[in-house]
């Protein structure tokens, strides 16, 4: 009996690890969409002075606007954390995207309220 237990627990441990790895594959947000989500989150956090609870609510709204879940976002962050070179490329693209947003915003004429 002791011999059985000697092999049972290590096999059980390995089986659990393997089954976790074979679980539902986490969905990674495509890079173009992830850039938009990430930049929107930066804009929201930089332009809104709120407490943490409100910031979490705004984060949820950004996710809803882009049709992504917090799980997908977290999985995408983990994916990029595992590949530092990809982060570097991502940030270059995110900066370019943000600069284009700024240029587009500057092109928009200021709308002045009508005077009575």
HSE at residue 65, side-chain half, CA atoms within 13 A, is: 14
Higher pLDDT, 1 or 70: 70
Q: Is 97 exposed, middle or buried (0-12, 13-18, 19+ CB in 10 A)?
A: middle
pLDDT digits (tens, 9 = 90+) for 47-67: 776 655 577 788 889 999 999
The pLDDT value given to residue 109: 61
Instruction: Report the chain's mean pLDDT, rounded to a whole number.
Output: 76
How far, CA to CA in Å, does 46 sit from each of 8, 21, 49, 55?
54, 37, 8, 10
pLDDT digits (tens, 9 = 90+) for 6-33: 544 444 345 444 444 444 567 999 999 9
């Amino acid at each position: 009996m002791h011999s059985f237990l000697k092999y049972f627990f290590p096999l059980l441990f390995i089986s659990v690890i393997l089954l976790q790895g074979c679980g539902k594959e986490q969905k990674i947000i495509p890079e173009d969409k992830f850039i938009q989500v990430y930049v929107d989150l930066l804009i929201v956090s930089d332009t809104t002075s709120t407490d943490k609870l409100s910031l979490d609510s705004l984060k949820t709204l950004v996710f809803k606007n882009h049709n992504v879940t917090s799980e997908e976002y977290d999985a995408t962050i983990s994916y990029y954390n595992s590949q530092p070179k990809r982060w570097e490329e991502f940030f270059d693209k995110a900066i370019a995207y943000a600069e284009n947003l700024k240029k587009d915003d500057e092109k928009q004429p200021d709308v002045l309220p009508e005077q009575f």
